[in-house]
């Protein structure tokens, strides 16, 4: 049964066993505006929780996307190269960034569930 978590950096992570899919939230894409480029880490990249994992560029600004957990990338979303606007149109489905294998599932304990994230966004 897949479970969804959220980070304070506005990433979502859907976990199934020790594999997970990562993207940015609808709130994040709305704040960034039109995404014109997304650079996602290729399969095999070792990511460390809280460190830069991907870059998204809007017309105006470049922003880092951090890894919400430590792990190794198993697949990057190749569709973002041709159509970076997927991050805007489908941030929590087709606009996913990468999949990874979790190194330490206990890191998930520090993340929020959907209700907590919703409250967090409303507090901003």
Note the residues at the interface with other proteins (CB under 8 A).
9-11, 24, 28, 31-34, 36-37, 39, 55-66, 81, 84
3-state SS string for 63-103? EEEECCCCEEEEEECCHHHHCCCHHHHCCCCCCCCEEEEEC
Measured between alpha carbons, how far is 21 from 54 in angstroms, rounded to an integer?
Answer: 13
Measured between alpha carbons, how far is 54 from 51 in angstroms, rounded to an integer?
Answer: 9
Closer to other proteins by CB, 44 or 60: give it: 60
Closer to other proteins by CB, 10 or 99: give it: 10
Measured between alpha carbons, how far is 39 from 80 in angstroms, rounded to an integer?
Answer: 8
Minimum distance between the CB of residue 53 and other proteins, rounded to whole angstroms? 11
Minimum distance between the CB of residue 5 and other proteins, rounded to whole angstroms? 16
Closer to other proteins by CB, 101 or 119: give it: 119
Closer to other proteins by CB, 20 or 87: give it: 87
Minimum distance between the CB of residue 18 and other proteins, rounded to whole angstroms? 25
């Amino acid at each position: 049964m897949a479970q969804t978590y959220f980070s304070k950096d506005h990433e979502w992570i859907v976990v199934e066993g020790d594999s997970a899919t990562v993207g940015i939230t609808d709130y994040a894409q709305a704040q960034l505006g039109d995404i014109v480029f997304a650079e996602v880490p290729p399969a095999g990249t070792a990511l460390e929780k809280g460190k830069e994992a991907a870059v998204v560029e809007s017309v105006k600004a470049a922003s880092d996307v951090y890894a919400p957990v430590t792990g190794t990338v198993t697949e990057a979303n190749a569709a973002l190269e041709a159509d970076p606007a997927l991050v805007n149109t489908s941030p929590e489905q087709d606009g996913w960034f990468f999949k990874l294998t979790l190194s330490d599932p206990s890191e998930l304990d520090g993340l929020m569930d959907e209700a907590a994230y919703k409250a967090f966004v409303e507090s901003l």
